[in-house]
Each structure stands twice: as structure tokens, then as C-alpha cells.
Amino acid sequence: MRTQVVIIGAGPAGLVLGHLLHRAGIECVVLERHSRAHVEQRIRAGVLEHGTVELLTDLGVADRLHREGLVHTGVELLFDGVAHRIPLRELTGRAITVYGQHEVVKDLIARAGFPIRFEQGALRLRSDRAVETAEGVVEGDFVAGCDGFHGVSRPFVAGSLRVYERDYPFAWLGVLAATPPSAEELIYALSDEGFALHSMRSPTITRLYLQVAPDEKLDDWPDERIWAALQRRLAHDGFTLTEGPILEKGITAMRSFVVAPMRRGRLFLAGDAAHIVPPTGAKGLNLAVHDVKVLADGLRRFYAGGDEAGLDAYSDTCLRRVWRVQHFSWWMTSMLHLAPDADPFTRELQRSQLRYVVGSAAAATTLAENYVGLTGSP
Ligand code: FAD
Ligand code: DHB
């Protein structure tokens, strides 16, 4: 089979790229390892930046997002037992929308006017223009590697990439609970036991996260232990955490990771295939969407008249934002987690930083503008 752009992976990056190319009249096919049901049920991110919502709206895939998504104009930071609100909209003029990543994926698949081939199993890259599947070779002018952190695209070009990485001495245990959110906004908490996050998916579903040790297993965390830890870590005046049945739970390692350049020849890496951020800043999905917007612009210029300037600038343009977001995610993570070896000096620096962020309009604005998503070329 022959097409113009072969896209590997039906996550947010691959699907948004498919929509952008289809709208520009560029032919593409998405090849996905897993089934449609699998990708539509994978519970992951929940926070969409203002710019991500705008792009999805522009693509005509945001009707349900606007109906069901929860617009948040602020977030809370809880430390030393006191919660402080960062008024995002007041400080930046913009807000975030809480809407599950799997819902975004469902909406993108439902409206796709381009082919998506699910259950492709283990794919193999033959070259930077051709992908081998169980049903034969799919050839294009370009390949977009949107296959996440564990995909096949990055290993194919690994030898020519520089890798930057950092691991953290903790992980997140995430749970989805059938109980109404206990507060209207997200609460990022640092307690003497470590980090906790109160988030949500709908008026009846709460999403919660807890810092745990990286080697801990789900079996170590029966539901009662999870609720007890959340109760302690999120406790503050006027707040009651409502418990309910846990529908889903999982442990996610935390790492910062970047490869450069994000291109070799005709193969372009986008989203988690090229970079990972720790989830504290809620940035991974948003950054993936930004990459493919830049890539689609470059491909559009190429197909409009052979102009390769956009494609040549792809990696540098993306990496500018990637590094800004890496810094923000690392900063939020360091400020809000308790490292097992944290000495009293480090703890006091964290508390001082948190007091400064909630007490200074300049510092609060720094957090807010990064959190809602910087505009322009940061
Ligand atoms: P993926 O979503 O990983 O998609 C890659 C796709 O490629 C998958 O469908 C996969 O099945 C497929 N694939 C893999 N290998 C192959 C192969 N060999 N062949 C074919 N297909 C393949 N981000 C935010 O912006 N906000 C948040 O609030 C947030 N919270 C998070 C919370 C958690 C617990 C986690 C784990 C992540 C969170 N993230 C968040 C990060 C976000 O989920 C990712 O950054 C995002 O999924 C990246 O999208 P992607 O399309 O690049 O990769
Ligand atoms: C959610 C995930 C995040 O990583 C975050 O920073 C905030 C919210 C969520 O899944 O709701």
C-alpha cells in the first residue's frame, strides 16, 4: 500500500496529526498496535491546556468536550495543612479544561475521515519511509513516529539521537473512584508523607494520585490503605474527602526524557516517542499535540510547493517548547514531592518556594502561565 504520510500510533499525537493532514488534503494512514477498545479505555491524562482545546475545537472534534469537559479557572496548592488558590484566569486570562484523554481519543477516532488500522501487532520500520505490517508493507513519503515511549520509531533511529534523561525516586499511584469530587478544583498537595493530587473526570467520578515508592506494587496498596493515605495527605480545614468504590488503579513511573533531534531523514518523532515529562505539570498530552501541529504545518508547506523549511525547522521549533515544559514539569515535581533522602535543608527550600508561589503575584503568574500553556515561542 502507498500513502503520503504513514503515522504509527493512535494516541493523541497520531490521531491529531491524522486530522490535521486530512483537513489539509494530505493522505495518511494510522497504524496502531492495539485494538480500538484498548486505546479508547486507557485512562491517562485529564488536563487540557487552553490551546489544546482551541485546536480540537478548530478540528471539529470538540462538541462533547464542550458539553462534558469541566472548565477550571483556578487550582489549589496545599502545604503545611493550608490550601491556597492560584487564580489561573485572573492571572493569565485563560483556563484549563478537565476532560479525560481517553474521551479525547474516542472523539478523534469517531470523526476520523482517514483510515486507522487497529490491531497491527508488532510493526517493523523498513526505512524512514516504509513500515512492515502483518498484512504487507505500507510506504509513504514520510513516517510520523507517534507510537509513545515504548514504540518502534525511536529505537529505529536511536544511534543518531542524543538522549537527556532523569529518573525520580518516586512514582504515582493513580485511582479512579466512583464518587463525586470533594472539591470543585484540582488540589496539588505536599504533606509530611509526600505528594497527593485530587482531580476529577465528571460530577460523579474522582481521579486521585498518591506519591509512592518506585518499586511498590499495586498489591501493597489495598483500597483501604489508599483512602487512608489520601485522607491524611489531603486533610485541611473545611475539606472532607468523600470515599467510594475504586474502579481502576495503576502505578506510573516518573521520568524526564528528551531525544534530539526529533527527526532523521523522512522519519519524524512526535509526542511521548520523543519526550516524557513527569505528570505533575499535566503537560504530556498537550506537548504531544503541539509537536504534531508543527509537523502538520511543515508537511502542508512541503506538499503545497516543495518548501522544506518547515520540516527542517521541526525539531528545533518543537524542542524549544519541550525544554520549557521539561523545566516546568521538573520544577512542579521537585516542589511538590518528598524525596526519600530529602534533608531538612531541602524541605525548607520547598516550603519557602511554595510560600513564594502563593504569596507573590509574579511567582503565581509564572506557575499559572506555564500551567495553562504558554503562547508563542517560549
Ligand atoms: P501515547 O498516548 O502513548 O500513544 C502512542 C500510541 O502508539 C498508543 O496507542 C500505542 O498503543 C501505540 N503504539 C505503541 N507502540 C506501537 C507500535 N510498535 N506500533 C503501533 N502502535 C504502537 N498529560 C497531560 O497533558 N495532562 C495530564 O494531566 C497527564 N496526566 C497523566 C497521568 C498519567 C497517570 C500518565 C501515565 C500520563 C499523563 N499524561 C498527562 C501524559 C499523557 O498521557 C501522554 O503524554 C500522552 O499520552 C502522549 O500521547 P502520544 O500520542 O505521544 O503517546
Ligand atoms: C491529572 C493528571 C495530572 O498529571 C495532573 O497534573 C493533573 C490532573 C488528571 O489525570 O486528572
Q: Write the CB contacts of 335 (distance below 8 Å, at least 6 apart in sequence).
A: 190, 350, 353, 354, 357
Q: Is residue 126, in this structure, part of any structural domain at all? A: yes
Output the pLDDT for position 122. Answer: 84
- The Å distance, Cα 287 to ligand 1 centre, comes to 11
- Domain ranges, residue 24: 5-72+95-166+255-340
Q: Over the stretch 137-183, which tens digit does the pLDDT of each residue have? A: 999 999 999 999 999 999 999 888 999 999 999 999 999 999 999 99
Q: Over the stretch 84-131, which tens digit does the pLDDT of each residue have? A: 999 999 999 999 999 999 999 999 999 999 999 999 988 999 999 999
Report the C-alpha gap between 346 and 327 in whole angstroms.
18
Q: Cell numbers at residue 346, please?
A: 531541602
Q: Is residue 146, in this structure, part of any structural domain at all? A: yes
Tell me, yes or no, if the pTM score tops 0.95: yes
Ligand of minimum distance to the alpha carbon of 328? 2
Q: Is residue 80, in this structure, part of any structural domain at all? A: no
Q: Is beta strand 5-8 parallel, antiparallel or unpaired with respect to 70-72? A: unpaired
- The Å distance, Cα 207 to ligand 2 centre, comes to 8
Report the C-alpha gap between 292 and 73 in whole angstroms.
27
Output the pLDDT for position 378. Answer: 75
Report the C-alpha gap between 105 and 372 in whole angstroms.
21
Q: Is residue 87, in this structure, part of any structural domain at all? A: no
Q: Is residue 186, in this structure, part of any structural domain at all? A: no
| Residue to mutate, 272, 292, 325, 370, ligand 1, most ligand atoms under 8 Å from C-beta | 272
How many angstroms separate the Cα of 163 from the Cα of each of 19, 160, 257? 30, 10, 7
Catalytic residue positions, numbered = 72, 188, 279, 283, 371
Question: Which residue's CA lies nearest to atom 9 of ligand 2?
Answer: 46
Look-up: residue for cell 480500538? 36
Look-up: residue for cell 520549557? 324
- The Å distance, Cα 13 to ligand 1 centre, comes to 8
Q: Is residue 141, in this structure, part of any structural domain at all? A: yes
Residues of the chain with pLDDT under 70: none
For the CA of 284, the nearest atom of ligand 1: 45
Residues with CB under 6 A from ligand 1: 8-14, 31-34, 39, 44-47, 101, 120, 123, 146-148, 150-152, 172, 174, 252, 271-272, 279, 282-286, 288
Of 253, 312, 245, 315, the C-alpha closest to 279 is 253
Q: Is residue 237, in this structure, part of any structural domain at all? A: no
Output the pLDDT for position 38. Answer: 98
Ligand of minimum distance to the alpha carbon of 98? 2
Ligand of minimum distance to the alpha carbon of 143? 1
Q: Is residue 226, in this structure, part of any structural domain at all? A: no
**ipTM score:** 0.96
Output the pLDDT for position 323. Answer: 98
Question: Which residue's CA lies nearest to atom 1 of ligand 2?
Answer: 46
Ligand of minimum distance to the alpha carbon of 197? 2
- The Å distance, Cα 153 to ligand 2 centre, comes to 27
- The Å distance, Cα 309 to ligand 2 centre, comes to 36
Residues with CB under 6 A from ligand 2: 45-47, 186, 197, 199, 207, 279-280, 282
Question: Which residue's CA lies nearest to atom 5 of ligand 2?
Answer: 282
Q: What is the CATH number of the domain that holds 130?
A: 3.50.50.60
Q: Report yes or no: 109 and 36 within 8 Å, Cβ to Cβ.
A: yes
As for how many domains the chain has, the answer is 1
